[in-house]
Structures are given as structure tokens and as C-alpha cells.
């Protein structure tokens, strides 16, 4: 099939203003997503927030169905939350971890997750062990298998880390977790919308994701997946009258579905935007989207590697749309600022984002350029030429 890049660029006004290679930060919204948000805000302006939400109920509920279709689960297993951090934390802090329990995680694990591990280590005395990487940089699944004992109560992995390239073998990790009956939490913040994510194939019990990155949704949106049958093993960190019902003076009843992890107040316009973004992706198809953006990323790596004074630092046997590099004479911030002055969006990743991995590789900072399917080869050529002139 022909990939209609021209159409998707036409429906993405932002591509006409700058070269947007910061999709791993926040991708550019397509017009249908923007209009879903704007139209609902206009409705709130004219008839009121509660009344607008009542009218939007079918589209609001469609968001659950669209996400369930995208990741292959039941709508009852989806909770809509403010962002991926809230989603991940609702899962993690809802687990009954106790003193002496072990958490196994990856060397390239994201800082926010590790900080939560460390907090629970201080509070409850849990143990955190990092699974060694293999010679490609991804999680060594043989090493993971060898680390399993009866104290391991959670395997928590970032599917696609923040610091470039790597796609961890989530499905193989899931097979090990299932074999040993260990809960499996997958941070899919960078994965959903970038590569096919099928929770049945992966075998995770919990998955967190955001709307603003590769789904191309609005900021302030995210979702949590919790597998049926596993939900009852968790205790939501907090409940309100949305996640539970006050049934008697001294009793309450928790919802039977994943919405127990939500709270009562929603930014309805943002949820509608998220639903529109997922439907937009479903219409195109995640397979062609993933294939297209990974071809662009491979092209970008090749071209950057040929630039004098530039080193590409991506790892992994399988690589995605994040491309990280260093300039031998300029700081990452200086490169980012220079590119921004030339209307190119990138970001900087530092040791504090994935400390274990970057310290191991003796890297303190990297420029992160991240492509999406609406980018094109001409933008890559312009990006490289601008960098050469620095």
C-alpha cells in the first residue's frame, strides 16, 4: 500500500512551521484531534460543562472502545487518567508489596519509575534489582530468568526507554513473568502509537501510556490497562465516589472494572481529543505507521553517523523512532538551542532520566531527535544540513 504522507502532512498544520523531531516529547496533533478538543470547548462555552459532557457521552465512551481495539483488550480493562505517570503510579502503588519483596527492572528504566521504587524501598524495605542488558543493550531475558526466586513480586519494564532507539523484548519478558506467576507492569509511554502493542501477546498484567506522544493526542491525557482477574489483587491508592460507591454509612463498594483507578473529574475535551487521536491512528493502521516511522529513524541514524563530529548512541537489537546523538564540540543544550533557532524541534536527555544505563555507558547527556510518520526525508536532509553548519 502507498503511504499517503502528503495527506497526513496536510492534516498536520505544525509541519509547515518547523521540523518537528520531538515526537517522543509531544507529537503534533492532526486537525481532527484539535477540532474534537476545540468543538467541545466551544460547547462548554455556550451551554455549560456538565451539559456539554452529557451531549458528548457517546464520543467519550468511544475513547474506551478505541483504546481497547488498539491494544487488544476489553473496554472494562481501561482507565482514563491525566497522564502516563498517574497511570503507572496507580498500578504500582496499588500492588501489595511488602518488606523483603524484590522488584526486577531494566538498566534503561525511566527515572520517574525508579524514584517510585526507591520511595517504596524507604517506606517498606523492598529490594530493587536491575536486570543486566545483553550486548545489544536490551534486557537480557536469560539473565532475567536466572534472577527469579520466590521473593520476586514484580517485573517492571519500560518498553521503549527515553534515551534512544532501544525496544525492549516485552513479549519474551511476559512469557517469563507468566511462567513464574509474577505480576508484570509495562511502561508503554513511548510504545503505544509507535509500534504494535498487543497486551494479550505481551502478557502484561498492567500497562501505562500517554496520549501526547506517538498517539498524537492532547497533553494531559493517558490511560491504564489492568487485566481482568488481576484487578482484584490490587488496592487503588485512593478512591472517590467515581471509583467506588458509598453503599452504607460505614461501607463502600469498589467498581468492578478498571475505572476504579479513575477519579470523578475529567477534562472532557481532552478525553475526546484522545479518542479522536486513537481513531485517527486506527484508520491509518499501526503497522504501516510503525513501519514508516522506523524507516525514517533508520535513515536519520545513517545520515547523522556520516556527519563529522557527531556520534549516534542508540542501542538495542530492535530500534524505534528515537534517535540520540552527541556533538563532540558542543553541549546537548547548545545543539538543541541552535537547532531551535533554525526551526527544528528536538530535546535533551540527561543522566538523571536513565541514570543506570547512561552512567554505565559513560554518557552524561544526549540530543534526542524523534520522528513520526508525518515527517519526511526532505526534513531529515534539512536537519542534517543545518547540523553540519553548526
Q: In the predicted model, what is the mean pLDDT of residues 205-215?
A: 98
User: 345 pairs with which residues across the strands?
Assistant: 20
Is the pLDDT score of 237 beyond 80?
A: yes
What's the pLDDT tens digit per position in 49-89? Answer: 999 999 999 999 999 999 999 999 999 999 999 999 999 99
Do 347 and 292 fall into the same domain?
A: yes
CA atoms of 111 and 270, how far apart (whole Å): 26
Per-residue cell: 43: 460547547
- The mean predicted confidence, pLDDT, of the chain is 97
User: Based on the structure, what is the number of domains in the chain?
Assistant: 2
Cα dist. 122→89, 189, 352 in Å? 16, 26, 20
DSSP state of 161: -
Do 111 and 211 fall into the same domain?
A: yes
C-alpha closest to that of 279 among 211, 355, 183, 373: 211
| First-to-final CA distance of the chain | 39
pLDDT of residue 1: 59
Per-residue cell: 157: 519494564
Do 37 and 155 fall into the same domain?
A: yes
pLDDT of residue 329: 94
CA atoms of 318 and 310, how far apart (whole Å): 22
pLDDT of residue 2: 80
What's the pLDDT tens digit per position in 18-54? Answer: 999 999 999 999 999 999 999 999 999 999 999 999 9
Do 114 and 186 fall into the same domain?
A: yes
Do 62 and 202 fall into the same domain?
A: yes
Is the pLDDT score of 249 beyond 90?
A: yes
Q: In the predicted model, what is the mean pLDDT of residues 265-289?
A: 98
Rounded percentage of the chain residues whose pLDDT exceeds 90: 96
CA atoms of 330 and 335, how far apart (whole Å): 6
Residues 6+ apart with CB under 8 A from 159: 167, 168, 170, 186, 187, 188, 190, 191, 197
Last residue of a domain, one of 221, 250, 283: 283
Do 74 and 200 fall into the same domain?
A: yes
User: 326 pairs with which residues across the strands?
Assistant: 311
Alpha carbons within 13 A on the beta-carbon side of 18: 16
Long-range Cβ pairs for the range 205-210 (8 Å, 24+): 205/177, 205/230, 206/91, 206/230, 207/71, 208/84, 208/87, 208/88, 208/91, 209/84, 209/87, 210/83, 210/84, 210/87
Q: In the predicted model, what is the mean pLDDT of residues 328-344?
A: 97
Residues 6+ apart with CB under 8 A from 307: 384, 387, 388
Do 340 and 218 fall into the same domain?
A: no
Give me the sign of the Cα torsion angle 263, 27, 91, 177: positive
Is the pLDDT score of 302 beyond 80?
A: yes
Do 203 and 324 fall into the same domain?
A: no
Q: In the predicted model, what is the mean pLDDT of residues 358-367?
A: 94
User: 133 pairs with which residues across the strands?
Assistant: 139
Per-residue pLDDT band for 164 (boundaries 50, 70, 90) equals confident
We report the CATH number of the domain holding residue 333 as 3.90.1150.10
Do 315 and 269 fall into the same domain?
A: no
CA atoms of 335 and 326, how far apart (whole Å): 9
CA atoms of 141 and 214, how far apart (whole Å): 27
Do 104 and 176 fall into the same domain?
A: yes
Per-residue pLDDT band for 339 (boundaries 50, 70, 90) equals very high
Last residue of a domain, one of 244, 260, 283: 283
Do 76 and 16 fall into the same domain?
A: no
pLDDT of residue 187: 98
Per-residue cell: 19: 521540523
pLDDT of residue 144: 98
Say if CB 237 and CB 89 are below 8 A apart. yes
DSSP state of 26: -
Do 254 and 277 fall into the same domain?
A: yes
C-alpha closest to that of 346 among 306, 316, 315, 310: 310
We report the CATH number of the domain holding residue 90 as 3.40.640.10
Q: In the predicted model, what is the mean pLDDT of residues 133-155?
A: 97
C-alpha closest to that of 315 among 186, 165, 176, 190: 165
- pTM, to two decimals: 0.96
Which structural domain range is residue 297 located in?
5-29+285-388
CA atoms of 288 and 293, how far apart (whole Å): 9
C-alpha closest to that of 309 among 280, 330, 324: 330
Last residue of a domain, one of 238, 265, 283: 283
pLDDT of residue 163: 86
What's the pLDDT tens digit per position in 91-132? Answer: 999 999 999 999 999 999 999 999 999 999 999 999 999 999
Amino acid at each position: 500500500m502507498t503511504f499517503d504522507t502528503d495527506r497526513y502532512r496536510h492534516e498536520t498544520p505544525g509541519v509547515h512551521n518547523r521540523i518537528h523531531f520531538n515526537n517522543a516529547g509531544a507529537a503534533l496533533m492532526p486537525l481532527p484531534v484539535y477540532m474534537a478538543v476545540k468543538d467541545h470547548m466551544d460547547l462548554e462555552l455556550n451551554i455549560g460543562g456538565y451539559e456539554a459532557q452529557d451531549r458528548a457521552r457517546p464520543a467519550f465512551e468511544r475513547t474506551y472502545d478505541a483504546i481497547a481495539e488498539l491494544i487488544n483488550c476489553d473496554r472494562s480493562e481501561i482507565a482514563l487518567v491525566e497522564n502516563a505517570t498517574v497511570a503507572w503510579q496507580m498500578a504500582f502503588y496499588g500492588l501489595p508489596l511488602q518488606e523483603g519483596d524484590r522488584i526486577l527492572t531494566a538498566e534503561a528504566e525511566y527515572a520517574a519509575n525508579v524514584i517510585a521504587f526507591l520511595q517504596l524501598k524507604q517506606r517498606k524495605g523492598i529490594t530493587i534489582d536491575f536486570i543486566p542488558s545483553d550486548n545489544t543493550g536490551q534486557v537480557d531475558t536469560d539473565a532475567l530468568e536466572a534472577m527469579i526466586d520466590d521473593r520476586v513480586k514484580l517485573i517492571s519494564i519500560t518498553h521503549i526507554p527515553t534515551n534512544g532507539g532501544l525496544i525492549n523484548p516485552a513479549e519474551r519478558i511476559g512469557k517469563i513473568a507468566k511462567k513464574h506467576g509474577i505480576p508484570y507492569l509495562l511502561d508503554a509511554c513511548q510504545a503505544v502509537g509507535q509500534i504494535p502493542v498487543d497486551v494479550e501477546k505481551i502478557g502484561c498484567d498492567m500497562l501505562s501510556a500517554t496520549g501526547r506522544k506517538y498517539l498524537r493526542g492532547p497533553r494531559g491525557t493517558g490511560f491504564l490497562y489492568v487485566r481482568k482477574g488481576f484487578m482484584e489483587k490490587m488496592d487503588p491508592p485512593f478512591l472517590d465516589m467515581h471509583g467506588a460507591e458509598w453503599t452504607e454509612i460505614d461501607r463502600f463498594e469498589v467498581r468492578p472494572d478498571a475505572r476504579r483507578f479513575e477519579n470523578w473529574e475529567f477534562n472532557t475535551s481532552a478525553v475526546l481529543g484522545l479518542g479522536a487521536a486513537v481513531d485517527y491512528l486506527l484508520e491509518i493502521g499501526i503497522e504501516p505507521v510503525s513501519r514508516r516511522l522506523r524507516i525514517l529513524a533508520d535513515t536519520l541514524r545513517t545520515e547523522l553517523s556520516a556527519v563529522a563530529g557527531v556520534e549516534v548512541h542508540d542501542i538495542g537489537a530492535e530500534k524505534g523512532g528515537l534517535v540520540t546523538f552527541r556533538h563532540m564540540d558542543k553541549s546537548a543544550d547548545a545543539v538543541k538551542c541552535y537547532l531551535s533557532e533554525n526551526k527544528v524541534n528536538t530535546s535533551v536527555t540527561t543522566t538523571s532520566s536513565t541514570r543506570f544505563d547512561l552512567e554505565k555507558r559513560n554518557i552524561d547527556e544526549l540530543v534526542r531527535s524523534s520522528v513520526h510518520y508525518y515527517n519526511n526525508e526532505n526534513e531529515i536532509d534539512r536537519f542534517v544540513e543545518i547540523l553540519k553548519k553548526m
